[in-house]
Amino acid sequence: MDVTIDTIRVDVGPLTPAEVVAVARAGRQVELTSEAVAAMRESRAVIDGLAHDSQPHYGVSTGFGALANQPIPPDLRKQLQRSLIRSHAAGSGPEVEREVVRALMLLRLSTLATGRTGIRPQTAQVYARLLNAGITPVVHEYGSLGCSGDLAPLAHCALALMGEGRVRDADGTPLEAGVALGRAGIVAIELVEKEGLALINGTDGMLGMLLLAIEDLRELLVVADIAAAMSVEALMGTDAVFAPELQALRPQAGQAVAAANVRALLAGSAIVASHRGPEDTRVQDAYSLRCAPAVAGGARDTVDHAASVAARELAAAVDNPVVTRDGRVASNGNFHGAPLAYVLDFLAIVAADVASIAERRTDRHLDPARSHGLPPFLADSPGVDSGYMIAQYTQAAMVSQLKRLAVPASVDSIPSSAMQEDHVSMGWSAARKLRLAVDALRGVLAIELLTASRSLDLRAPLVAGPATAAVRARIREHVAGPGPDRFLAPDIEAVVRLVRDGSVRAAAETVVGPLS
């Protein structure tokens, strides 16, 4: 797929994960290709041929779900589509984030562009214009069971195409959809046969959140290696266990990558060198130090598996029914979110465990029985000062929350639509809790970085390695070094921002080059 500097071209073929993230987060513009328009015209002709057929065709001349056997007369078939969107736009709860809604909309547009849904090109063009104008329909937390598509979330988006419902404009101002469309010069669409169903019967919300989470977790796993290296160094751990020949004995791909990162980050450390050799009486470090690559590496492999599932879903045309290449309109079950729900749950488990081992390393910094000479809680004057005691409490609270978020949503199923839809994936719920898990993991790693930086300061006159010293220096631009107790919450949030904006990784990479 061609990608210009400013525009993502939506074709009959799949989008890339990077393109989805660029539209969702960076506000990139989109453009339907002529090939996509031609494919939509071709499948639309099939639907038009059925619009007045006396034979039942699901989504064209019948009701939906448990009402699929209810015939709809020709003069009510356009009203059927409008009623579908209005009734299904039944979400409730807090608003879903703008980036999620934009990802969801782009992915639905991509499926429309395949020419398998029977939608008119002009309807898809209006969808693209909404994205380009920065108009974001208000989508709510609750309403999708991850089966028959993300129905309520997508219906709220389709409602905006009709000039109804609530949206936010490019500045984030809430207003009525009709007003927003008018200001943008967009004429609302009157849906015709099959179009309402084509706009809502997809896994786009689940997939969009999966792609955003994969992007975030890939970054956070590099940060986890940086934090682990700083902790190994500051806790007087050994780098010998990360040797390539030892990692090769267990050929797990992610583990090898994580160990290589830690080795690079610890290279040249005077602190590590200070206790290397036969005079060091410790046989081996605690698991949270020694096994860091196994955990972060296993997490990488799980993210890679999730990415492979996402890639297959990006190549899918999820709708029911679909227009086949030979001109049939065929029912199917491709809208079931199980494949996505499973990996969304897997990633929540990954986030919880990476956070768990990071919290255990943090706790070692604070305990004089295990920190090899550091003051209790890294306090300036222990007793008068509490140091980072409560930072670990905050971290522990987040880890506890992560464990709850790791309980899988995909094992639950509540039948719906009078038992016609008697097994559902709960993939939307899995995606929503994964977003919370990613945020919590970011906070846990930020606290480990904050703590390890102070421990490295307290190892003076021993000097940290160039890479870890660069990370500590970047943190010190925003957070003061050791001293009497200070208001700690702003320091934690400052490091969270440095993790989120890529500054922590960038600081390390100025020394060691790209980390994997």
pLDDT, one tens digit per residue, over 78-105 is 888 999 999 999 999 999 999 999 999 9
End-to-end CA distance of the chain: 26
pLDDT classification of 331: cutoffs 50, 70, 90: confident
- Among residues 58, 342, 388, 393, the one annotated as catalytic is 58
Task: Kindly list the distances between the CA atom of residue 324 and the CA atoms of 149, 228, 294, in Å, as whole numbers in the listed order.
Answer: 19, 52, 46
Q: Quick one: pLDDT at residue 235?
A: 98
pLDDT classification of 51: cutoffs 50, 70, 90: confident
Q: What is the mean pLDDT of the chain?
A: 94
The two structure tokens encoding residue 390: 């409560």
Rounded to an integer, the average pLDDT of 49-54 is 80
pLDDT score of 42 more than 60? yes
Q: Quick one: pLDDT at residue 65?
A: 66
Q: Quick one: pLDDT at residue 5?
A: 47
Which letter, b or e, does each residue of 231-269 get, where b requires 16 or more Cβ atoms within 10 Å of its Cβ? Answer: bbbbbbbbbebbeeeebeeeebebbbbbbbbbbbbbbbb
Rounded to an integer, the average pLDDT of 158-165 is 98
Residue 201 · residue 88 · CB < 8 Å: no
Rounded to an integer, the average pLDDT of 6-33 is 96
- In the chain, what are the domain boundaries? 7-202, 214-512
Q: Quick one: pLDDT at residue 419?
A: 81
Determine the Cα–Cα distance for residues 70 and 92; give it in Å rounded to an integer. 28
The two structure tokens encoding residue 124: 């898809």
What is the Cα 169 distance to its own chain's centre? Answer: 23
Task: Kindly list the distances between the CA atom of residue 143 and the CA atoms of 94, 224, 427, in Å, as whole numbers in the listed order.
Answer: 11, 34, 12
pLDDT score of 290 more than 90? yes
Rounded to an integer, the average pLDDT of 15-29 is 97
Helix axes of 34-50 and 121-132: crossing angle, nearest 10 degrees: 130
Rounded to an integer, the average pLDDT of 158-177 is 98
The two structure tokens encoding residue 116: 């398998």
> Strand, coil or helix: what is 329?
strand
Task: Kindly list the distances between the CA atom of residue 384 and the CA atoms of 133, 142, 337, 483, 484, in Å, as whole numbers in the listed order.
Answer: 56, 48, 55, 12, 9
Q: Between 1.10.275.10, 1.10.3470.10, 3.60.21.10, 1.10.10.10, what CATH number should domain 7-202 receive?
A: 1.10.275.10
The two structure tokens encoding residue 297: 């590496």
The phi-psi region of residue 144 (left if phi > 0; otherwise alpha if psi is between -120 and 50; otherwise beta) is beta
Closest CA to 204 of 130, 123, 105: 105
More confident site: 68 or 5: 68
Question: Which H or E run contains 21?
Answer: helix 17-26
Asked about 58 being catalytic, the answer comes back as: yes
pLDDT score of 1 more than 70? no
Rounded to an integer, the average pLDDT of 148-175 is 96
- Tokens 């001349």 identify what position? 61
The two structure tokens encoding residue 123: 């309807």
Q: Quick one: pLDDT at residue 66?
A: 62
Q: Quick one: pLDDT at residue 420?
A: 78
pLDDT score of 4 more than 70? no
More confident site: 211 or 147: 211
Residue 181 · residue 145 · CB < 8 Å: no
pLDDT in tens, 200-226: 999 999 999 999 999 999 999 999 999
Determine the Cα–Cα distance for residues 149 and 145; give it in Å rounded to an integer. 8
Task: Kindly list the distances between the CA atom of residue 455 and the CA atoms of 234, 297, 363, 450, 494, in Å, as whole numbers in the listed order.
Answer: 6, 25, 12, 9, 18
Q: Quick one: pLDDT at residue 277?
A: 77
- Is omega for the bond preceding 321 within 30 degrees of 0, making it cis? yes
Residue 228 · residue 296 · CB < 8 Å: yes
Q: Quick one: pLDDT at residue 3?
A: 41
Residue 355 · residue 438 · CB < 8 Å: no
Domain 214-512 is found in CATH 1.10.287.40 = no
pLDDT in tens, 391-442: 999 999 999 999 999 999 999 988 887 787 888 899 999 999 999 999 999 9
Alpha helix locations (H) across 315-426? 338-366, 389-405
Rounded to an integer, the average pLDDT of 106-134 is 97
